[in-house]
Each structure stands twice: as C-alpha cells, then as structure tokens.
Amino acid sequence: MRLSDIYHPNLVQYGRTPHWPHPTVEVPVNPHLFFKLLSDETRLRCVLLLVRRGELCVCELVEALNESQPKISRHLASLRSQGLLKDRRQGQWVYYSLAEAQPQWLVPILTELGNAEQLATLYQADIDRLQAMNYRPGRCGN
C-alpha cells in the first residue's frame, strides 16, 4: 500500500501527511503483534477498560489509569495502528473503542479478557477512578 492510497496525493507530493483525521484503513490484527501489544501494562489496562466500558474519551483513560495524557495517547495510537482500536473526534474530545471488524480468533480472547474476574480485581482501582471522575465528556450533560 502506498501513501497516496491513503492520503490526498498533494500531501504526499510535498512530504506531508495529515495528523487528523486518521486514515480509515482496515489493518488485520496479527496474533504475534496483539500479544506483544498487551505485554505492556498500560496498553493492557486501556484495552481492559475499553472491553468492559465501551467507548471512552482519552481524558477518561488518563484519569482512570492515573497516567499522563501524552503517555496514554501514544499507547492508544499503537493499538489503533495495529487495527485493535478505532477513534473518532467530537469537538475537542477524541474517543476510542474496539474496532468492530476483528479476526475470528480475537473475539473470544477479548470476551474472556472482559470477563476475567482476576483481572477485574487486579485493576479495580482503574474502574473506581473512572467512576469517581466528576466531568466525563458527553456522559454527564456537562
């Protein structure tokens, strides 16, 4: 795949690629890369929250994981670039969720991750911080 297949040809001609919106290219999730991505605890925690809670804003993940926004955004970009997540912008907010089209082998793994009681107990503090968040964009009418 060439850059011109994804981006407008004029941008490629001048060596520039847009930062937003991201190209909507279906990237099949590779099993080796999937498990490598989840070997990082921050990415694992992001995926667990997205599996359990559905779509979340970057600011919600920052609050829940108690990490910096640049760190969370970098990890989310890695997950998105490998086809595991999708994103959308609504005003100033960027929301992430699991990509809808997942390989058949990945669906039961994500389901089990979401249902795993041991992981829920281990990362309960993330869920508690998310629920205690005062301002959640698009969810509280603020």
Q: How far is CA 76 from the centre of its chain?
A: 4
* 68 pLDDT more than 90: yes
Q: What is the pLDDT of residues 14-23, one digit of tens each?
A: 444 444 444 4
Residues 130, 46 contacting (CB under 8 angstroms)? no
Within-domain flag for 17 = no
Within-domain flag for 24 = no
Within-domain flag for 55 = yes
**What is the span of the domain harbouring residue 118?**
30-132
pLDDT at 73: 95
Q: What is the pLDDT of residues 79-103, one digit of tens each?
A: 999 999 999 998 888 999 999 888 9
Within-domain flag for 23 = no
Give the count of domains, the chain.
Answer: 1
Report pTM: 0.77
Within-domain flag for 71 = yes
Residue 70 belongs to a domain with what CATH number? 1.10.10.10
Within-domain flag for 3 = no
